[in-house]
Amino acid sequence: MSENNYYDLSHVSFVVLGLISEEPCHGKIIDEKIENRGMRGWTSIGTSSIYGVLKKLEKDGLVRSWIEELDNRMIRVYNITPYGSEVLKNKIEQVLRDFYGKNDEDFYVAFSMFPVLSFEEQMKVFNYSLNKIRKHKKELEEMLEVNRQFPINVTGLFKHPIMILETDIKFIEWVLEELKKFGRQIGPNDYKEK
């Protein structure tokens, strides 16, 4: 995607566009996917906001829609456009690449949608993230060493994030090992809802 085509997805738009990328669907199906996947526990998206986002995504050319009949009523079905796919892929890559151990709901969205990326892209973003987290942990450890003489309320501000980063490192290492075991791109069809 060229710089002049950059599109900044809001968190809610990111969720909705990602769900539409899996298959054409209407607003109620999107809401059901959010509910059934437990996404309401880690993302801030309400039922009513879905429809406004759908209109904006369509206006901006990221999705297209058409009318279908379902159970004797007319519904609007949405599908991702090539431009929408490009924007989504770039957002997923950016969020996963830039993850460095902070609690970020966009990370959880991007992680749930990483099958959009090729195997090489998956490996690249997680390796980049792993290196970034390790670097950040090392910087904090160096700062902790310099500040060891301070009381626990100060040193704890370094120790706590270091311990969180250690867990994030283990998690990303696990993800990379699982991807290597699979040995190819993990795509949306590998994990269909039951």
- Tens digits of residue pLDDT in 91-149: 999 998 887 767 778 888 899 888 889 899 999 999 999 999 999 999 989 988 988 88
Q: Residue 194, Cβ neighbours under 10 Å: how many?
A: 3
Q: What does the pLDDT read at residue 2?
A: 43
pLDDT over 90 for what percent of the chain?
54
pTM (two decimals): 0.73
More confident residue, 49 or 5: 49
pLDDT digits (tens, 9 = 90+) for 99-113: 776 777 888 889 988
Closest CA to 137 of 111, 113, 172, 93: 172
- Which among 53, 51, 59 has a CA at the least distance from the CA of 81? 59
64 DSSP β-pair partners? 79
Task: Find out whether 111 and 154 touch, Cβ atoms under 8 Å.
Answer: no
**pLDDT band for position 5 (50/70/90)?**
low
Per-residue pLDDT at 3 exceeds 50:
no
pLDDT (mean) for 57-65: 97
